[in-house]
Each structure stands twice: as structure tokens, then as C-alpha cells.
């Protein structure tokens, strides 16, 4: 394998006894991965001489597709075609067709979980329609805007995500002030910071996620040095705008920080503290729906002026009426379109130009918060927003931040070929998001650490995303293992029995017998975040192994002043890992190569070339760092060799080296070392 990650295969026989194409090997597809518009790609197929009419089949587009075929020329060892890519961004799917020696028409299509992106012979062509069941698969080339750039700050960033109500109260917290901040009688207030989350609500309303602890932006500001000690350079805040609920995804006023969080002045103070420490803030932008209890919809008449609901019901003029879709049932009762049928979350018509003016205009929401010091936005439910809306969001952010504003999308699936509402989406071509949240990364890593897949499958799936995502986006992807929407990593590693009962979820706790094992695996998950490509996102409390199943238990309060010895130990561990990345640019934006992936063992290399990173920029720290992981319950030994400036790793039998839990060690430049990895352990080898 060379430094570019291309596997050096033995020379093939001219007999060509197989049909073969591997999308990740330069011999068959060159160059690797997603490509800028207007470029070209060489595609090759190994095929027996007994076959005939070897043809490249391809289709390209985004909202509509154009299908074509091109005969492949016999270049002696391989059939070959040089394909000019479209001059506009989108998707290009390809496969091969040939007639075998028995006069059967066959297709060479993509296959899942293969090492080098090799495919398989199949009797049908791939299905690639947006609404089709996509089997068999086509090979994919993501064609992106040649001018696509993401801010350097987000590439390989260290991100800390905070659910504001549950992170920290400020030193001047006053319970009576919190309870008097709103006249919403459905709210539940916690006097005790350490009591568990509410799961019942008030008897007259039931559960509404309206319980508050009084965490505030001033509380975050007072903990900013703690946050910085984790190596953080980007702070991602769940919604801070005024809302009825404690999660605040039911926005009530887009231009006002919730009074319980401290109001707009507290945001200015937080921005100042962050700026002094080199941290940028990303705000959670919820633009597909608002709250029913909001200045705009105003269903409960808690705001001055006429909201959209009263406008429809009473025939009164409102500037917000056109934002929402209303109708009446057979009995004349008012109905409206709402997010997943929740009446508290009325959907917004994002194509309404008055709504777009409110969001993107000169005095709009985006410009207002950028002007107040926000560094960008994370878009809630991106796949439920029109592509044109997200494109306008990106343009507005970039124009008002000298190109440095960040836009991250909430996309849970493969964003390069995401389909929703009957179409492929414009998510990964340089026109909308800088990048997306790494839920696919989380799924892959958890499957590996839980033992559902082996290292080879994990590597294949990660390499698949590296192949399909433009590098500008892949180095900026928000790789996470926990969030406010999924169970925490410690809980997931204990493999809880699934239950929709909040009472059962509330009781769930990692057993004493499993705790040590789960904590080692949780550290391993963070090591993968640190060592792999992308931005490393740490959900508040994961650094101390907080537990929590589904919402709301993944949103418990941070136990300030009550950390156990094990939590303090893990916090110190995470800080050391974070420093490894902040001190070595190769772990942020360096080149990448898998060294070994088999069974329980995964090894990868991050490196610089002549002191420069993947993007050709001068970097700092070590020029090479290898990450070695042993997921298994038995020790393993790896030989890591640096020969002629090429690092390789192989598994060896037990050697005369001691097993050690020291997870950072120094390698021998130009030599060989044997690393002994205990069960459930990892090691960074620094050259």
C-alpha cells in the first residue's frame, strides 16, 4: 500500500479469468473519491476475453437523470474508458454490462461491505431511482462544485455540544426569578439541580418536555475554561431562542434568547468569553416549524399582536398568516399542517417569500445572530427543508461572515445520496451545507464496539463514506457518538433492552459488572473520534461517562461538584486525548490511510507530507501518528514498521513485550516496534 492508500495488488494474469472492478483502487478508478465538476475519471474493468460487448452504463443528474452507454476499449489487461464528468454538481451512478460466453447479458454492479469497493456480477442492472428499492447497487461518483470550500475552523474541529438548560446554572441563580420569568402554567421547575428529569408533566397537561432546571448562558460562560480544557474550538448549543419547552425546538421568538437562559445580553458575554479563548459558537436553527405558542402562530394569545392562528380563525390580518398552511375539517374546525402531527409544532412554508425575508433579509434572523457573534448554524431536520431554502441559507451565512460562517445539517443517513420527498437532495455538492452531523459514523463505530461487525466491515463502511463525500465536507463532518437525540455512548455500549416505557428507561443504569468494560469501550470510541477524519463532537457529560437512554434521560444535568473518582479519572483521560489532537495537526487535517482492519483489530495512520496536510497547508506537531485498537477480550500484538517513510502494521504472535495501558507511546522513526495491546484497549503511536 502506498502513501495515498492505494493497495498494491500483484500483477494480474493476461488470461483475465474474472470480472472485476474496485472503486477504491487506482487501477480501476482514478482519481479516488468524489470529484469536482468538469473533471474526468478513468474507469477500468477486468473481464475475460470470452466476454463481448463490454459497456459502461451510467446515469447522472440530481432531480432528474440522463442515462447513457459507452463501449469500453480493450486496453490489453483491462477494458477502459475515460469519462468526462458533468459540468454541474450532482450524482453519477455507473455499472458495467457485458455478454458472457454463454450469450447471457450480465451486469457488474456495486456490493456492500467490500474491502476495496469491489462489486459483483448480477443478472439485473442497478436500481437508482429516488423512490426505488436500491438493490442491486450502482457505483457512485459524487460530483461537487469545483469552488466548494469549508472554513478551516470546522475541519478537524473539536466540538462541544451543550443542552443549555442542563449544563450549568450561574453563580447568581435565583429559583424565584426562574419561575417568574414566564406565565406558562404547564411548566415544571426543579429547585434541586441533581434530581432526575420529569417524565409526567402536570396532571392537567401530561408530559410536555416543559421541566426546567435553570441552566443558563451565564452558567456556560462561567465554565468556559473547563470547556477549553477539553481542547474545544467550536461550541454547539442546542436551541437558545425563547420557547415554551426546555428543549426549545418549538421556537417562540427567533431574535430573543430565552429569559431563563439570561436574555440577549448573556449571549454577548458568552461570545466575548469564547472569542478570548478561540472558540466559535454554532447555534441550533429550527426553521422547518415554530412553536404553536409563539409570537408568529400565537395559538394561546400569550404574545402581543395577531398571530397566524387567530388570523385564520377570526379573519384578522397578520403578517405571519402566509407562513402556515390551514384548512377546516367537515365540521368547520381549524386544522393546520404540523411537524410529524404534533400540534405544538406547526410547520412553516419555507418557500413563502415573507418568511424567507424574515430569515434571510437585511434585518433577518441569520444576519442578526451573525452580527451578535455567532459563528454559524446547525440546521435542524435538514431533509425537511427545501434545497433552495438551504442554498439561500448558505449564501446568506457566507456573504455575512467573509466566508467563515459554518453551516452543518442534521442528516442521519448518507448525505451524498439522501432521498426525501421523492428526490435526491442537494446536500453534499458544495451548494448547501458545509457538512452534516455524523450519525452514520456513530452507527458504524457503535456496531464495531458492540461486536456486531468486525474491523474489516467498519473500515469498508468508513471508506465508503470517505469515497462518496467531498474532502472539504468529510474533514468537516460532525462525528459524534452521543447527542440529545440518541442514547449516550455508555448506555448503548451496555446493550440495553429496548423499551418505550419512560419508567423502564429511567431505571436503566449500567451494571457494576459491566461498568469497567463499557468505560473502556467508551474511551475507545473517543479515541476513534480523535484519530479519524472529521470534527470530533463531544456531547456534554460524555467526558465523565454520564449515562442516559432515550430523550429525556440523555438530557440530564451535569453533576457539578459530585463527580465520582471514576468520573474524575475519565475526565483526565479525555483531556489527555484532546491535547493529543490539538497539539498535532495531522490528527485534524492530515492525510489518512488504513493500516490494518481484521477481526477485533483496527489500525490507521494520520500523516503529513513534507510538513503539509491533506489540503496542502503547513501544519504542526508530529508528522505521523498511528492509532491501534484492540476491541477484543484477549490481548493482541501488532508490529508497526516505518520503512522508507512508509508505515505498515501487521498482527504478530505473542512477543517479548509487556502489555501496557499507556495509550500514548513514541514510535521509532525508520524502524520497527512491537506493541502489546491489552483487551479493550487502544494506543496512539507518535512518530
> Which residues participate in catalysis according to the annotation?
380, 410
* Helix, strand counts (H, E) of the chain: 16, 35
Of the chain, the end-to-end C-alpha distance in Å amounts to 19
430-468 b/e (C-beta count within 10 Å ≥ 16 → b): bbbbbbbbbbbbbebbbebbeeebbbbbbbbbbbbbbbb
Query: Under a CB-based contact definition with an 8 Å cutoff, are residues 540 and 232 in contact?
Result: no
Residue 85 is classified by DSSP as: P
How far is 363 from 360, CA to CA, in rounded Å? 8
d(CA 483, CA 210): 19
- Residue 349's closest CA among 410, 420, 289? 289
Q: What's the CA gap between 307 and 344, in Å, rounded?
A: 14
Closest among 671, 601, 598, 665 to 636, alpha carbons compared:
601
Instruction: Give CA–CA dist 186/211, Å, rounded.
Output: 9
Contact 684, 624 (CB under 8 A): no
- Residues 535 and 531: their CA atoms lie apart, in Å, by 10
For 529, the 3-state DSSP assignment is helix
Q: Strands 601-607, 624-630: parallel, antiparallel or unpaired by DSSP?
A: antiparallel
Residue of 286, 284, 289 lying closest to 341 (CA atoms): 289
Closest CA to 294 of 279, 283, 280, 310: 310
Euclidean distance between CA atoms 149 and 641, whole angstroms: 35
Amino acid at each position: 500500500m502506498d502513501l495515498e492508500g492505494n493497495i498494491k495488488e500483484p500483477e494480474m494474469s493476461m488470461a483475465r479469468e474474472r470480472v472485476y472492478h474496485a472503486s477504491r483502487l487506482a487501477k480501476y478508478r482514478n482519481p479516488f473519491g468524489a470529484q469536482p465538476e468538469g473533471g474526468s475519471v478513468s474507469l477500468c474493468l477486468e473481464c475475460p476475453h470470452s466476454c463481448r460487448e463490454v459497456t459502461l452504463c451510467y446515469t447522472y443528474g440530481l432531480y432528474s437523470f440522463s442515462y447513457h452507454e459507452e463501449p469500453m476499449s480493450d486496453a490489453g489487461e483491462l477494458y477502459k474508458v475515460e469519462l468526462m464528468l458533468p459540468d454541474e454538481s450532482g450524482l453519477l451512478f455507473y455499472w458495467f454490462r457485458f455478454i458472457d460466453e454463454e450469450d447471457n447479458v450480465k451486469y457488474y454492479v456495486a456490493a456492500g461491505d467490500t474491502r476495496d469497493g469491489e462489486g459483483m456480477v448480477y443478472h439485473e442492472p442497478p436500481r437508482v431511482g429516488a423512490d426505488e428499492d436500491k438493490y442491486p447497487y450502482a457505483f457512485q461518483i459524487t460530483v461537487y462544485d469545483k469552488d466548494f470550500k469549508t472554513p478551516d475552523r470546522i475541519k478537524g474541529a473539536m466540538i462541544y455540544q451543550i443542552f443549555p438548560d442542563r449544563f450549568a446554572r450561574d453563580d447568581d441563580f435565583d429559583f424565584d426569578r426562574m419561575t417568574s420569568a414566564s406565565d406558562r402554567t404547564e411548566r415544571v421547575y426543579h429547585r434541586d439541580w441533581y434530581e432526575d428529569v420529569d417524565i409526567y408533566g402536570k396532571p392537567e397537561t401530561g408530559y410536555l418536555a416543559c421541566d426546567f432546571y435553570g441552566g443558563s448562558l451565564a452558567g456556560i460562560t462561567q465554565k468556559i475554561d473547563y470547556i477549553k480544557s477539553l481542547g474545544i474550538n467550536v461550541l454547539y448549543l442546542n436551541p437558545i431562542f425563547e420557547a415554551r419547552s426546555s428543549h426549545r425546538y418549538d421556537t417562540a421568538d427567533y431574535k430573543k434568547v430565552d429569559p431563563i437562559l439570561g436574555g440577549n445580553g448573556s449571549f454577548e458575554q458568552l461570545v466575548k468569553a469564547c472569542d478570548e479563548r478561540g472558540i466559535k459558537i454554532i447555534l441550533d436553527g429550527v426553521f422547518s416549524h415554530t412553536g404553536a405558542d409563539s409570537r408568529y402562530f400565537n395559538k394561546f394569545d400569550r404574545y402581543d399582536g395577531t398571530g397566524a392562528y387567530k388570523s385564520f380563525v377570526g379573519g384578522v390580518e397578520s403578517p405571519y398568516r402566509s407562513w402556515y398552511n390551514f384548512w377546516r375539517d367537515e365540521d368547520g374546525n381549524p386544522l393546520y399542517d404540523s411537524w410529524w402531527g404534533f400540534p405544538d409544532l406547526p410547520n412553516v412554508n419555507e418557500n413563502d417569500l415573507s418568511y424567507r425575508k424574515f430569515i434571510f433579509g437585511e434585518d433577518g434572523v441569520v444576519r442578526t445572530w451573525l452580527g451578535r457573534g455567532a459563528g454559524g448554524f446547525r440546521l435542524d431536520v435538514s431533509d425537511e427543508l427545501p434545497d433552495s431554502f438551504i442554498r439561500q441559507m448558505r449564501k446568506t451565512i457566507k456573504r455575512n461572515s467573509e466566508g467563515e460562517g459554518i453551516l452543518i445539517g442534521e442528516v442521519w443517513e448518507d448525505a451524498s445520496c439522501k432521498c426525501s420527498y421523492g428526490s435526491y437532495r442537494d446536500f453534499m455538492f458544495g451548494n448547501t451545507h458545509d457538512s452534516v452531523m455524523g450519525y452514520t459514523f456513530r452507527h458504524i463505530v457503535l456496531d464495531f464496539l458492540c461486536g456486531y461487525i468486525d474491523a474489516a466491515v467498519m473500515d469498508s463502511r468508513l471508506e465508503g463514506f470517505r469515497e462518496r463525500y467531498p474532502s472539504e465536507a468529510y474533514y468537516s463532518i460532525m462525528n459524534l457518538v452521543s447527542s440529545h437525540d440518541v442514547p449516550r455512548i455508555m448506555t448503548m455500549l451496555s446493550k440495553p433492552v429496548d423499551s418505550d416505557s419512560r419508567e423502564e428507561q429511567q431505571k436503566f443504569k449500567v451494571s457494576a459488572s459491566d461498568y469497567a468494560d463499557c468505560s473502556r469501550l467508551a474511551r475507545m470510541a473517543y479515541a476513534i473520534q480523535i484519530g479519524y477524519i472529521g470534527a470530533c463532537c463531544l456531547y456534554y457529560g460524555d467526558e465523565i461517562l454520564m449515562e442516559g437512554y432515550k430523550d429525556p434521560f440523555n438530557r440530564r444535568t451535569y453533576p457539578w461538584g459530585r463527580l465520582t473518582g471514576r468520573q474524575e479519572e475519565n475526565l483526565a483521560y479525555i483531556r489527555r486525548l484532546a491535547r493529543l489532537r490539538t497539539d498535532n495537526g495531522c490528527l485534524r487535517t492530515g492525510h489518512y490511510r488504513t493500516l490494518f482492519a481484521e477481526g477485533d483489530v483496527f489500525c490507521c495512520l494520520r500523516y503529513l507530507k513534507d510538513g503539509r496536510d491533506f489540503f496542502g497547508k503547513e501544519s504542526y506537531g508530529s508528522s505521523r501518528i498511528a492509532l491501534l485498537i484492540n476491541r477484543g477480550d484477549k490481548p493482541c500484538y501488532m508490529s508497526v514498521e516505518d520503512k522508507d517513510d512508509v508505515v505498515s502494521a501487521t498482527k504478530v504472535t505473542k512477543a517479548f513485550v509487556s502489555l501496557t495501558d499507556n495509550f500514548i507511546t513514541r514510535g521509532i522513526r525508520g524502524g520497527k516496534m512491537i506493541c502489546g495491546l491489552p483487551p479493550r484497549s487502544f494506543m496512539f503511536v507518535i512518530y
